[in-house]
Amino acid sequence: MRWLPWTVLAALAAAWAALRVVPDGWIDGPWAGRLLPALSSTSAAWIDASPLSLTIIGTLAWLLAVIAVAARRTLPPASRVAWALVWVAALGPTFELAWGLGYRRTPLEAHLGLGAEAPTAEPTWAVLDRLLAAATASAPPSSEAVALEAAWRDDAFAAAAACVAAADAFVLGRDAPLRLPGRLRELPAGLLLSGGFAGFQAPWWREPHLDGGLPPVAATRTALHELAHAAGWAREAETDALATLAGLACDDPDVRFAAALHGLLLVRAELGRVAHDDPAWRERLNGAWATLPAVAGDAWAADRAAIQRHRSATVERAAGAVYDGYLRAQGVEAGIADYGRAGVLLVNALANCDGAADSPAPWCAQAPSPSAAGGASR
């Protein structure tokens, strides 16, 4: 039976190679429509039931299994090496089935019928008005709720999970929303922020983790993003845009506030690109920003303070290079710069709300229109 581990290795390699070239129609059909909901339901149930991170438990168990096989002296040395390699090689096809195929699914803009081109200035200003109104309407009454030392709201994370699942169901026309984990894992403060990241989710479990050093608004915004990843959206721009749209459609005001503030930063970056040659745009933008309640500035200040407290330039450069390489290996040509497309997707999606009062998009109903807000940036 010495040939058995090598046969298993060959089968795993063949399975991984086959999944790397699986037709795109299979990804949007059987994978996203049937396999992903089953995986999501199972992993979410286990995540919510476990008091500890399943990602950490699973990783340690996997390492122990590799070590145990490699150290088993009853097997010939070649067999020990081969069986240890089987455990390592198993990561490939299971990665593709649990997560990797998501990089090749139909893009979010195609599902929403959006153009891929960047919006012009005036629609972008109109979306800014909408987000200003949403942020103002959902702002907490006190700055204490957004301070760096303020406690997170676990029920806001649960609300965010339900809203992301609902937005994903709308986009894909699912009969029933995915089950997403309502429990997010808190990591030691600075573990992720030192590298320039606020959260992550392990591909095999799709279990969301947040850096413990985040203030509440940033934690809620990050929770939305990681939950959108847990729903199977892999590309960063699509994940960020869908997470923001889902947050704007949420009944929980803290979730809407976090999504609106993040959306404002994305739209401001877009205005910097499409209106930079307008000599009056900076004055107009400053006037719009001045209409925000003071608590918005306090939330952004708490976010900056958390980043400055934990950021390490050396760690950030190294982590950014690794993640950039990983994304390119998954077919994301822009690498980590793919985040920059989120503003275009968000503006185009919200611009579709104007003139369509009966739009079925949930984010159109929740985010107030510019006219309802009195034209905040005018």
CA atoms 25, 27, 31, 33: torsion sign: negative
Rounded mean pLDDT, 364-371: 60
Give 199's strand partners. 210
Residue 357 confidence (pLDDT): 54
Look up residue 272 and give its two tokens. 């910097």
Specify the range with the lowest mean pLDDT, choosing from 36-50, 73-87, 339-353: 73-87
Which of the four pLDDT bands, split at 50, 70 and 90, describes residue 377? very low
Q: 244: closest CA among 231, 259, 230?
A: 259
First to last CA, the chain: 77
Separation of alpha carbons 240 and 226, rounded Å:
9
CA atoms 293, 299, 300, 301: torsion sign: positive
Q: Is the pLDDT of residue 24 over 90?
A: no
CB atoms within 10 A of CB 284: 16
Residue 283 confidence (pLDDT): 87
Rounded mean pLDDT, 8-17: 94
Structure confidence by residue, pLDDT tens digits, 180-202: 999 999 999 999 999 999 999 98
Rounded mean pLDDT, 259-288: 87
Which of the four pLDDT bands, split at 50, 70 and 90, describes residue 358? low
Q: Which residues have C-beta within 8 Å of that of residue 203, sequence separation ≥ 6? A: 95, 98, 99, 100
Q: Is the pLDDT of residue 23 over 80?
A: yes
Q: Is the pLDDT of residue 371 over 70?
A: no
- What residue segments make up the domains of the chain, in order of their start? 4-104, 113-366
Look up residue 177 and give its two tokens. 């929303």
Whether 307 contacts 228, CB under 8 Å: no
pTM for this model (two decimals): 0.93
Question: Greater confidence, 86 or 119?
Answer: 86
Question: Greater confidence, 368 or 173?
Answer: 173
Mean pLDDT of the chain: 91
Rounded mean pLDDT, 111-122: 84
Q: Is the pLDDT of residue 378 over 50?
A: no
Q: Which residues have C-beta within 8 Å of that of residue 150, sequence separation ≥ 6? A: 144, 215, 216
